[in-house]
Amino acid sequence: MNFGHLSLLFKVPIFPSYDPVSHENFYSVRKITRYVKDILPIHSHNDYTRSIPLFYAVKNGCKSFEADVWLRDERRSRPDSDYVALLSGKPPAVHTSLGDGQELYVGHHSTNLNKYETLDSLYLDHLMYMLDEMNVDGNDTERQRGIYVNLPQETVFLVVDFKTHANPTFGVLREKLQRFITKGYLSYYDFTSDTFVEGPLTVIISGFTPSTDFLEYRA
């Protein structure tokens, strides 16, 4: 079968495969973004609902993309109604039966979650892979290159919308972002110089807001 013709027929860009179990990637971000000449001031709202999350936004030069996340923790498993809690303005309880330990699952409602659609598998793993590819040969500038091959100085925004209690959700997110911090990929605020230091990836938290003590965190 000619997948190139198939992609034209359905107006869908066919990307090389991704294995959600082994997390192996078979694509090149340089090829995906080579025709992007300008980054558009467009936000891909509920990006995970696209046929190919993240990649549609990147291929079309979007500046930001959003993922709704739910913290699930096997250690505190108990029944609860996430939807009713949200309607009442309260964050849902932390509970799960999807996997072991703590994980951030992506979906609009708790009933839409599945073990293969996590913040790592849909976004963070791919973004790390893309940034590693763009910076594999070193860098002669102060900051790391971004994911757009023709505009490597540009940052992109990942909006993470908390659907569960903010403090524990932020704690898990912080651990997941550590690999980006270690490699200098993540934007951050320098409290010493009182300046914002932009990296190729900027993460924005929305939804349920962590308490003010999380601001004491230093990357």
Per-residue model confidence as pLDDT tens digits over 74-88 = 444 433 344 444 444
**Global confidence as pTM:** 0.76
Range of the domain at 18: 3-216
Q: What is the mean pLDDT of residues 127-137?
A: 94
Candidates 105, 126, 108; CA nearest to 172 is 105
Encoded amino acid at 71, one letter: L
Total domains in the fold of the chain = 1
Look at residue 40 and give its three-state secondary structure: strand
Out of 52-66, 108-122, 136-150, least confident range: 136-150
Classify burial at 3, counting beta carbons within 10 Å of its beta carbon; exposed 0-12, middle 13-18, buried 19 or more.
exposed
CA-nearest of 73, 67, 77 to 107 is 67
* Predicted local distance difference test score (pLDDT) of residue 47: 95
Q: Rounded CA gap, 116 and 83, in Å?
A: 21
Q: What is the pLDDT of residue 8?
A: 31
Band of pLDDT at residue 213, cut at 50, 70 and 90 = low
